[in-house]
């Protein structure tokens, strides 16, 4: 599930993986998109990490409520989109006929 341009979340049998994408440079100084993956027990832990990482970018404590609301909205939207995508898989006539 893509949260925004920076964060993606995926699930396997054992845990949730949070991918944190950053723009950087390779050894030769060329632009490169880099990914840091961390592993988490549940979505609560994932959302805590996202909030913790983005909160460090705030300039003032007064920015935290706005950040919290924005990140929460992004996470909820990503989950709702994933649910719709799964529901569409179950109702898509082409897929249902193939099964």
Give the chain's domain count. Answer: 1
Considering the domain boundaries, does residue 1 fall inside one? no
Mean pLDDT confidence for 67-95:
76
Output DSSP code: residue 6: S
66-76 tens-digit pLDDT: 888 888 888 88
The domain containing residue 40 runs over which residues? 7-92
pLDDT at position 16 is 93
Considering the domain boundaries, does residue 2 fall inside one? no
Residue 39 backbone class (left: φ over 0; alpha: ψ -120 to 50; beta: rest): beta
2-25 tens-digit pLDDT: 888 899 999 999 999 999 999 999
Task: Of 75, 80, 13, 2, give the one whose Cα is nearest residue 44.
Answer: 75
26-75 tens-digit pLDDT: 899 999 999 999 999 988 888 889 888 888 888 888 888 888 888 888 88
Give the ranges where 27-63 is alpha helix by DSSP (H): 43-55
pLDDT at position 34 is 93
Output DSSP code: residue 90: H
Considering the domain boundaries, does residue 43 fall inside one? yes
Element (H, E) at 80: helix 64-91
In angstroms, the CA 55 to CA 49 distance is 10
């Amino acid at each position: 599930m893509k949260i925004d341009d920076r964060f993606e979340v995926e699930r396997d049998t054992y845990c949730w993986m949070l991918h944190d994408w950053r723009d950087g440079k390779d050894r030769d100084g060329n632009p490169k998109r880099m990914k840091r993956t961390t592993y988490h027990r549940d979505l609560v832990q994932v959302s805590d990490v996202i909030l913790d990482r983005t909160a460090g970018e705030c300039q003032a404590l007064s920015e935290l409520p706005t950040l919290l609301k924005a990140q929460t909205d992004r996470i909820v939207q990503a989950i709702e989109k994933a649910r719709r995508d799964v529901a569409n898989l179950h109702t898509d006539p082409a897929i249902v006929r193939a099964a």
